[in-house]
Chains A and B, each alone.
Chain A
Amino acid sequence: MGAIPKNYGLAFSEIDGVSPTPEDGENNEIVHKAPPEENGVTNTNGTSSSSNNQNGCGMEEIPEKMRHQLKHRELFLSRQVETLPATHIRGKCCVTLLNETESLLTYLNKEDTFFYSLVYDPQQKTLLADKGEIRVGSKFQAETIPKVISGSEDTRNSEDLEELVWDPSHLLSEKEIDQFQIIARSVGTFARALDCTSTVRQPSLHMSAAAASRDVTIFHAMNTLHRQKYDIAKAIKSLVPAGGPVLCRDEMEEWSASEANLFEDAIEKYGKDFNDIRQDFLPWKSLKSIVEYYYMWKTTDRYVQQKRIKASEAESKLKQVYIPNYNKPNPAAITTKINGVEGSVSGRACESCYCAHSSQWYSWGPVHMQCRLCNLCWSYWKKYGGLKMPTRLDGERPPPNARQERIAQMNSVRLQKCTISGCGKRCHISSNCRNSGDESRNSGNDINSVKKSGKAQHQREHYRYQKERGTEKRVSVARIRNRSGSKGKRGDLDTANISTKEHTKSPSGDSDTLNKTTGNGSDIAQTTCFDMSDIKNQLKTLMGLIPAIMELKQAYECQGDDEDECSPSPSECGDTWPDEGNSTNPTTKDKP
């Protein structure tokens, strides 16, 4: 019935569908899909629309590998805004809101594409689907929808609603109208010649003619024609009434040179705060005439020149956003050149794909394990924060049976209380978080921490360059397209504003109502099982690494267009095992 609870219900099921620990969640999405073949998934068109189908019977249909890799494709947006050095950008990628009609597997087919469905809000400490609501109730809908009146004409008097200022049904030809406009302009030119103040302003005939050709004269001509019932003769007469020829001037012409100077000074001082300008500089002008003047002033040579200078300055500033090639040696790279023989040092196969040959090896995982990755897997790890294949290190590759059991377990929980699934998952996260906090440094057993840093790494790539603000090497990263309270990216002007502004509306709005509306259980599951501090922990690295679909500066884009080229190639990234990685990670540095 009520559309809203239902929507939220769906929203939550969507959350379930793509939750951070996707082994069960993703299945919801994927259940209906035929098992795709290896990497080239082609048969994803069997749209499974019901993402909230909760039975996990299709568990086996998706190869373990894909399920594993899908985890790497989910990101969480954050409402946190952060500033990062441009040098941390490695490339760009595409992050889209997961749509229910979409198959998750399509994300695996495309490189550097990620999906999200949840948004983390550091103030509210929530991780929720970001969704507005259409409210239902007499307070929101139009109440008195009129009955159709048939037969009778609308009797309202048009004159109360509008005033006709031009009627095309006249008999004048186009040419006659043109001619009349020229006459009006001529009269205006002559009027300026007679007018003392005008002669000062427009010392030459040319200038008078130009001034008389401004739109205000033409509008006046058209109005005159209309008022004189499209009788040209009458209209011409009315252009030269007894008092002398008609002189139409807009603000541009009305203002004296000194006023214009005052205005420029004022603009310099106050920017475009016209109220202040009026108060302190031009109190005898109306606000309207100041605004009108301002927009005309923007067409003047002086302004255009100024703008050009500013633009070129900005341009040159942007050029300073030069990002040097990363050629610091990668500490993780294993130098095997001791004997000139490649890759023979440890002889171990790649931890991820088990291949034995690679042009370059990278040490990976805790030192004592002496694991290593091949070239390809390394760059995959750098991008997606995980290994292509589940590894024994992450504890996520239990013997097949055990795994099935675990999944079954999760499912049974799910089935009993569908909303609990979220809970199960969240617990899962938080336990990981704890690990990542203290243990992972040494044990390195927690693949999630790996993933985390990897993601953070990756998410650096999402940063959008702000052309205007891209001064020097620091690029402000804003949530470019935020929603919630504010529509405009006016906030663009200062990022700090955005994050605060955003919540002007939502605190009592979105999330609260969310909790209320979902009522029975799901929200409770969410709030109780979410250990918020843990989540915060986990999301630390993700904070601020926001949606931000990047529009890199053009120059940058050229190289960035092919995403492969931008992907962190091993040699580019001086990266290390997570903790170290984190320390160089901008997110930790700039964390509030």
Chain B
Amino acid sequence: MASLPPKRKICYYYDGDIGNYYYGQGHPMKPHRIRMTHNLILNYGLYRKMEIYRPHKATAEEMTKFHSDDYIKFLRSIRPDNMAEYNKQMQRFNVGEDCPVFDGMYEFCQLSTGGSVAGAVKLNKQAADIAVNWAGGLHHAKKSEASGFCYVNDIVLGILELLKYHQRVLYVDIDIHHGDGVEEAFYTTDRVMTVSFHKYGEYFPGTGDLRDIGAGKGKYYAVNFPLRDGIDDESYESIFKPVITRVMEMFQPSAIVLQCGADSLSGDRLGCFNLTLKGHGRCVEFIKKWNLPVLLLGGGGYTIRNVARCWTYETSIALNCDVANELPYNDYFEYYGPDFKLHISPSNMANQNTPEYMDKIKTRLFENLRMLPHAPGVQMQAIPEDALNDDSGEEDDKAPADQRISIRQADKRIACEEEFSDSEDEDGGRKDRRDHKKKRQKTDTGDKKEGETDVKKDEKEVKKEAPETKEEPKAASEKDDKVTPAGDKKDESSPPASAKTESNANVDTSSKDKEKDGETKASTTASSTTSSGTSVTAASEPEKMEH
């Protein structure tokens, strides 16, 4: 497992100054945790395995791509020594309490944002598969307002950057707090889906209700999973995987931004969940398995030794590289006492999220996701299903005989859960995926929803295969772009695309013979052009359906 040949290329952003910004006495947000992470990464030998960048300081101009001019101007000019002059504005921009004015505050924002934006550009240039910026992930910042220790929303800015090259970007947030800043920024667009798993109920920031699903064009593009205290690894996985899988099927993003707030870990100073690094890291692993470009960001996390542990571990996951449980010596070794181990154990707190509760929420979210415009309706029937069905059938048949697919390909495939379970030898390998599917179907059918369920099921199967190949190829997507300009353009103009699925499915067929690269190209061209023809109708109809 650890020796899968084509490693994904990781770019990591860090500025040596970041650890020296200090929010103030008694403030739980400690940028120092990022330095602790960095030093662990160095001493674990992960540093040498990835491209390390020092990010630029984001300019005001970059920040105002999202934020309002006067807000950024204010952030730029306010300092601890001139605060008195800004009383009114401080109130207006919510700076002062949770978000204090501290020395170098603006620079701190610049660095955090600089890393996320540079990472996004890196992904856009296809110069990296995963870009990591632990100094980013400040998901509460609003357009004209600081909030929850966040001033500038590096995530929104990163996503805006990604949107230049990606029709649809998925944002996933596993911080214990709701990712309200990002959700709000993209609340009315269908090009970004925000998915947040968070504690809800008498908890900051108070948003993130199950019923908040987006507005206008963005309706159904905000997904909120409200949770209660004490959720553990197992429960978290049991909701994260199916929800994300469904989201991937329905939304089919071409890039993912994952906010890895570490305050969802057990023992966090502000948190009340009960995750360990393993459960938290599993989310990263799962996101990674889809083989899409990923922007991996930090976020909350207030028990800093565990934050450093967590993000180090997650860096190792991104690198696909095992790390010892024994922590290596480093400048901050003493912080990790008394055990000096990487992994942490959960506490004995009660998990207030009962299986029934989580199931019901999950079911409801699935119902919402089904409302997405390209959700398999009758239209999908128009697609040359034979080909697709054949294809998927084949896929399924082949699945167990992994050997038939070259390792390189296998790695490129996006067989998400499958691969995941492969790596997790514990849960019965390949079967996992099937089981999973069945389970989902059960909920589907269990949820009433007329007779179309059957149809849907089928289509889901089809879809299922599609995303797997979907991102397929850094290499191929490029090719794809060039090869199928027509199809792509259509795709862009239409909402989440069945078109894309289509052409991708075709790429899939072709990619199977990928080793014989030469001929493939030709066939790709052929198949994708045809598909683009069909897909136009398929894609445009659901749009109507929406209204």
Contact = CB atoms under 8 A, between A and B. Distances in A.
B270 interface: yes
Nearest to B185: A142
Given A132-B180, A164-B51, A154 B165 contact: yes
Interface in A53-111: 77, 94, 96-97, 99-102, 106
27 contacts: A3-B214, A96-B352, A130-B206, A134-B180, A136-B187, A139-B144, A145-B163, A146-B163, A147-B492, A150-B481, A150-B485, A150-B488, A151-B481, A154-B165, A162-B118, A163-B53, A164-B51, A164-B52, A174-B45, A274-B25, A287-B22, A481-B204, A483-B204, A483-B205, A487-B140, A487-B147, A490-B26
Interface stretch (A213-221, A318-326, A397-405, A407-415): A213-221
A271 B25 contact: yes
A316 B43 CA distance: 37
A97 B200 contact: yes
Contacts of A145: 160, 163, 189, 191
A215 to B, nearest CB: 5
A27 B49 CA distance: 61
Interface stretch (A290-298, A330-338, A342-350): A290-298
A215 B205 contact: no
A158 B131 CA distance: 14
Contacts of B199: 481
Contact of A166 (B39, B52, B482): B52
A141 interface: yes
B178 to A, nearest CB: 8
Interface in B84-139: 94, 97-98, 103-104, 114, 117-118, 121-122, 124-125
A102 B222 CA distance: 21
B543 interface: no
Contact of A142 (B66, B200, B354, B489): B66
Contacts of B207: 131-134
A2 B124 contact: no
**Which of A45, A140, A148, A156 has most B Cβ within 10 Å?**
A148
A366 interface: no
Interface string B425-450: 00000000000000000000000000
B20 A288 contact: yes
Contacts of A485: 97-98
A94 B124 CA distance: 47
Contacts of B16: 219
Nearest to A484: B206
A274 B22 CA distance: 9
A209 interface: no
Contacts of A274: 22, 25
A44 B335 CA distance: 48
A418 interface: no
A144 B35 CA distance: 34
Given A97-B201, A275-B103, A483-B206, A488 B187 contact: no
Contact of A102 (B124, B186, B350, B360): B360
A547 B148 CA distance: 21
Given A3-B187, A131-B206, A134-B215, 14 more contacts: A7-B209, A101-B363, A139-B68, A142-B143, A144-B160, A145-B163, A148-B492, A150-B481, A150-B485, A154-B164, A299-B331, A299-B334, A484-B204, A485-B98
A252 B70 CA distance: 41
Contacts of A99: 210, 226, 357, 360-361
Contacts of A289: 20
Nearest to B119: A162
A99 B331 CA distance: 46
A153 interface: yes
B203 interface: yes
Contact of B185 (A141, A153, A154, A493): A141
Nearest to A488: B28
Interface string A547-581: 10101000001000000000000000000000000
A493 B50 CA distance: 41
B53 A97 contact: no
B418 to A, nearest CB: 28
A551 B50 CA distance: 42
B161 to A, nearest CB: 8
A152 B334 CA distance: 50
Contacts of B363: 47, 101
Contacts of B52: 164-166
A95 to B, nearest CB: 9
A174 B203 contact: no
B267 to A, nearest CB: 11
Interface string B51-84: 1111110000000011010000000000010000
A205 interface: no
B27 A150 contact: no
Nearest to B329: A213
B22 A482 contact: no
Given A145-B163, A153-B125, A291 B186 contact: no
A162 B160 contact: no
B26 A3 contact: no
B19 A292 contact: yes
Nearest to B13: A162
A504 interface: yes
Contacts of A490: 26-28, 98
Contacts of B25: 271-274
Contacts of A488: 27-29, 98, 149, 270, 302
A367 interface: no
B327 interface: no
B402 interface: no
Contacts of B222: 134
Given A162-B118, A272-B25, A304-B334, A3 B42 contact: no
A145 B162 CA distance: 10
A53 B456 CA distance: 29
Contacts of A132: 180, 205-208
Interface string A290-312: 01100110110000100000000
Interface string A160-178: 1111111110000010010
Contacts of A135: 184
Nearest to A482: B202
A234 interface: no
A44 B359 CA distance: 13
A360 B482 CA distance: 85
B269 interface: yes
A96 B228 contact: yes
A166 B16 CA distance: 14
B455 to A, nearest CB: 24
Nearest to B117: A161
Interface string A38-57: 00000011010100000000
Nearest to B354: A106
Given A99-B357, A136-B216, A551-B349, A215 B188 contact: no
B370 interface: no
Nearest to A165: B52
Contacts of B184: 134-135, 140-141
A529 interface: no
Nearest to B304: A295
A151 B189 contact: no
B386 interface: no
A160 B204 CA distance: 37
A289 B19 CA distance: 11
A490 B488 CA distance: 50
Contact of B114 (A44, A161, A291): A161
B167 interface: yes
B17 to A, nearest CB: 7
Which 7 pairs, one residue from A and one from B, show the smallest C-beta to C-beta distance?
A: A132-B206, A97-B201, A3-B215, A166-B52, A132-B207, A101-B360, A299-B334
B210 A299 contact: no
A166 B48 contact: yes
B340 interface: no
B212 interface: yes
A168 B352 CA distance: 45
Contact of A100 (B177, B186, B211): B211
